[in-house]
Structure 1
Amino acid sequence: MTTMLDKKFSPQKQTAFAARFEAQKIAFGPVVFQCVRYAWQRGMLKKLADGGAAGFSIEDLAATGHWSAYALKLVLETCLSAGVVSLQGGRYVLDKTGYCMLTDPITQVNMNFIADVCYAGLADLDRSLDAEQPLGLAHLGDWPTIYEGLSALPEPAKTSWFEFDHHYSDTSFPDVMPDVFATGPQRVMDIGANTGKFSLATLAYNAEVELHLVDLPQQLLMAEQALQAAGLGARAHLHGVNMLDPACEFPAGMDLIWMSQFLSCFSEPVIASILARVAKSLADKGQVLIMDTFWDRQRYDIAAYCLINTSPYFTAMASGNSKVYQSGDYIRLAEAAGLKLLTARDGIGYCHSLLRFAKA
């Protein structure tokens, strides 16, 4: 397939004037973000949607008592500059971008994730890049990485983080179950089990499979609660492991090892260490499935744009030295660990690809 590496995000023949306008959009990006989010969260956009093509004047909107005329003028003028609303005969009307804000789940999940999890911490992106440490995480809590603190994140950051993570992954799990069981595995290991979403889907799909969940102990507590609540705990085995410790081995003799949106949490040296341990954990004919959101394998610019711009979250908030990778990075590191790529499947869920490996 044609990848994003073969494309450009901007037109090839952009005028100098147009380029300067785009540069100003970048310069004022944080201002636009906050104003548009205010209009969405405080109900301005919903009110305009209710008004339809007729729209409302500032006086009409102020008369509701929900917003002052000052707040309305300031926020809606920014929304106008961003194409969220239009101004027709002195009356504000919701535009197509505004309807996306009101109705598009991906847009809403992304906005809340950036606002509640990332925004304050991104002010420390420069220091985080220089130190390769998530120095912006201090705005949420005192942990070395965000993964130790996921179960204790303050609200609304906790809700927004899990909604972001699950929105992108949950739609993919039903689609990949035939891939997971294509080789008839009896012992499956889910590395980076998180809250147990994939584990629940796997145990429910196959009544015979034995599942091993590997993650930080505090993460496994949430997964264990979910498994017990679903009555699926009997076939699940939990293994608390610090992925950053190369001496921590994974359980051996696995027919299939699964990793979903997991390796992007780590630097390339740590990924290399994890894949080396994964290779040791495989049974003789075992295989590895890695599902992730590779920006270079996206069909549409919009997906690649979102994924590329998720990487600074990993720097400032999550680990300090990880990112959304290109698929070739994983393949290269897997080959160095003694694994060979068998197949690659794209177009799973919103933006996932599935890489299948076996021992070389």
Structure 2
Amino acid sequence: MNLPDLLQLSGGYWSTCTLHAGVKLDIFTCLTDSAMTTPELARQLSADERGLGMLLHALTALELLHKEENTFRSTAFSATYLSKKSDSYMGHIIMHHHHLVEGWSRLDEAVLRGEPVRQRLSHEALERERESFLMGMFNLASLNAPRIASALELSGHRRMLDLAGGPGTYAIHFCLHNPDLTAVVYDLPTTRPFAEQTIRHFGLSERITFQAGDVLSDRFGTGYDLVWISHLLHSESPADSATVVAKAAESLADGGRLLIQEFILDNTKTAPLFPALFSLNMLLGTRAGQSYTQQELFALMNTAGLCEVNRLSLDLPNGAGVMTGTACR
């Protein structure tokens, strides 16, 4: 690293906060169908003209808006991913990132205390964050789920458990790619409305059901050909992760498969970069969560009695990987 890179690293949050403000104010939706001047958009948003003008110019500098004479319009890219009128809208995950900023600004406190520092929220604010988180997970999973589902050979699999499945994105895409597959999305009761709405949107209500429960204290059922656990273990301690994996293994039929997706560290824990940073994100928001190494995930699955444990050859972003193991009884 050189000095310019260091300063860019230090001040990079300026661009991040500019993007977050644009999404929070829904500027890209407003400017998708027609160009508007700053005063026109300020009236629509009940915003200050001076402040809005500065934001619009900064978003243009980031190549997220296009300016022609005195009017602004969304670019093709921002209209696709940042407008609520688009089926590819990614604003939910961006707002989830926005909600994490306050905690990250107190990372030094979390390191000294070894515990979460995120502030307690009002019920209304908590509901907004929950929606951003769940639909943000839908945003992210929608990028990877079709790729993973098409890469897996699931012929002969009939019953799937999507454990802590949130809005059911993976269950949906696995079922879309495998017509004989049915699925259960298992998550907390508060997740049910989001899951059932998403499942209904894809026309899969007859093949995918929702089961409410707690992954640590409740049972999952038995006889599943496939159990999918995506980005759950990093929220839990090693001991609780072992409990979840053991219970998942017990829910498999003989010969059934357990698949675990995580942001996976190498065994030195110094790379890849994203899982290393994500471990800090868990420090900020959970009591004992962390990113796990491939070796640690292997150990969890072997201890649960699974055989043929290995990592699938998949090229996924942000250091993500999928581990697989088979129930051999």
* TM-score for both structures, normalised by structure 2: 0.68
Look up the match of 1:114. Answer: 97
* Contact 2:265 2:275 (C-alpha < 8 Å) held by counterparts: yes
1:313 aligns with 2:281: yes
Look up the match of 1:205. Answer: 177
Look up the match of 1:256. Answer: 226
CA offset at residue 28 of structure 1?
Answer: 4.9
CA distance in 1, matches of 2:50, 2:150: 56
CA distance in 1, matches of 2:228, 2:138: 17
Look up the match of 1:287. Answer: 257
CA offset at residue 254 of structure 1?
Answer: 1.4
Rate the CA distance shift 1:132–1:184 in 2: closer, same or farther, 3 A.
farther
* Contact 1:40 1:102 (C-alpha < 8 Å) held by counterparts: no
* Secondary structure in 2 matching 1:244: coil
Within-5 A mapping of 1:222-241: 222-241=194-213
* Contact 1:260 1:290 (C-alpha < 8 Å) held by counterparts: yes
* Secondary structure in 1 matching 2:300: helix
Q: Deviations over 1:202-248 (max 9, x none)?
A: 33333332322211121133213333454433333433221233xx2
Within-5 A mapping of 1:158-169: 160-162=132-134, 164-169=136-141
* Equivalent in 310, 322, 325 of residue 354 of structure 1: 322
CA offset at residue 323 of structure 1?
Answer: 3.0
CA distance in 2, matches of 1:39, 1:232: 34
CA distance in 2, matches of 1:308, 1:109: 23
* Contact 2:184 2:211 (C-alpha < 8 Å) held by counterparts: yes
Look up the match of 2:33. Answer: none
* Contact 1:211 1:237 (C-alpha < 8 Å) held by counterparts: yes
Q: Which AA in structure 1 matches 2:291?
A: V
1:326 aligns with 2:293: yes
1:135 aligns with 2:108: no
CA offset at residue 184 of structure 1?
Answer: 1.4
* Secondary structure in 2 matching 1:208: coil
Within-5 A mapping of 1:291-302: 291-296=261-266
Number of positions where the alignment pairs a residue of Structure 1 with one of Structure 2: 299
* Secondary structure in 2 matching 1:135: coil
Look up the match of 1:5. Answer: none
Compare 207-216 and 177-186 and name the one that shifted more: 177-186
Q: Deviations over 1:338-357 (max 9, x none)?
A: 22314422214675422211
1:344 aligns with 2:312: yes
CA distance in 1, matches of 2:292, 2:93: 19
CA distance in 2, matches of 1:111, 1:351: 19
Q: Deviations over 1:235-273 (max 9, x none)?
A: 33433221233xx22211211111122222222211111
Rate the CA distance shift 1:27–1:342 in 2: closer, same or farther, 3 A.
closer
Rate the CA distance shift 1:296–1:220 in 2: closer, same or farther, 3 A.
farther
Which structure has more relative contact order (CA 8 Å, sep 6+)? It is 1
Look up the match of 1:242. Answer: 214
* Contact 1:35 1:75 (C-alpha < 8 Å) held by counterparts: no
Q: Which AA in structure 2 matches 1:314?
A: M
CA offset at residue 25 of structure 1?
Answer: 4.9
* Secondary structure in 2 matching 1:358: strand
* Secondary structure in 1 matching 2:171: helix
Q: Which AA in structure 1 matches 2:282?
A: F
* Contact 1:276 1:337 (C-alpha < 8 Å) held by counterparts: yes
* Contact 1:171 1:349 (C-alpha < 8 Å) held by counterparts: no
Rate the CA distance shift 1:231–1:26 in 2: closer, same or farther, 3 A.
closer
CA offset at residue 295 of structure 1?
Answer: 4.9
CA distance in 1, matches of 2:241, 2:312: 19
* Secondary structure in 2 matching 1:175: helix
* TM-score for both structures, normalised by structure 1: 0.63
CA distance in 1, matches of 2:187, 2:22: 39
CA distance in 1, matches of 2:100, 2:275: 15
* Higher CA-based Rg: 1
Rate the CA distance shift 1:75–1:201 in 2: closer, same or farther, 3 A.
closer
* Secondary structure in 2 matching 1:226: helix
For the aligned residues, what is the CA RMSD? Answer: 4.6
